[in-house]
């Protein structure tokens, strides 16, 4: 079954990365996921200041806002989609993720299978 691991950083360093993990930890985790043969896809997102948000009002009027929202407490930094037997396995992989440490978190969500 496929699961998406949404990686949220609670603290950002000066370079826009997760403050509580280093590049070596991410490289090791990425290799571990690939070597286990469970990686479907994954990406790291560009710096938060490159974000653009679109909202559409009930009347259809579109509002576009550059940059992050002030009320956002966590920053979505990237994701992995993994294919594992069950939720317990997905939770185990999420717990290994460097982004789950400290003030960060990893949200685990099953990927919907509309073909089933």
What would the pLDDT profile of 53-74 be if each residue is shown by its tens digit?
A: 888 999 999 998 887 655 556 6
Average pLDDT rounded to a whole number, residues 38-52: 85
Tell me how far apart the alpha carbons of residues 84 and 6 are, in angstroms, rounded to a whole number. Answer: 16
Structure tokens at 61: 């009027």
Q: With CA atoms as reference, report the closest residue to 77 among 36, 17, 31.
A: 17
Structure tokens at 53: 């948000």
Q: With CA atoms as reference, report the closest residue to 31 among 21, 40, 41, 39.
A: 39
pLDDT over threshold 70, residue 50: yes
Give the bridge partners for 44, in sequence order.
78
Q: What is the mean pLDDT of the chain?
A: 86
* Residue corresponding to tokens 């559409």: 56
pLDDT over threshold 80, residue 39: yes
Res 72: pLDDT: 57
């Amino acid at each position: 079954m496929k699961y998406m691991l949404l990686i949220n950083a609670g603290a950002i360093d000066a370079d826009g990365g997760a403050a509580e993990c280093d590049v070596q930890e991410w490289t090791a985790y990425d290799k571990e996921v690939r070597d286990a043969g469970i990686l479907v896809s994954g990406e790291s997102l560009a710096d938060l200041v490159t974000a653009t948000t679109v909202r559409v009002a009930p009347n259809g009027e579109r509002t576009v806002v550059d940059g992050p929202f002030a009320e956002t407490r966590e920053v979505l930094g990237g994701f992995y989609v993994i294919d594992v037997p069950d939720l317990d396995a997905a939770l185990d992989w999420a717990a290994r993720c460097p982004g789950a440490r400290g003030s960060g978190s990893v949200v685990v969500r099953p990927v919907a299978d509309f073909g089933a």
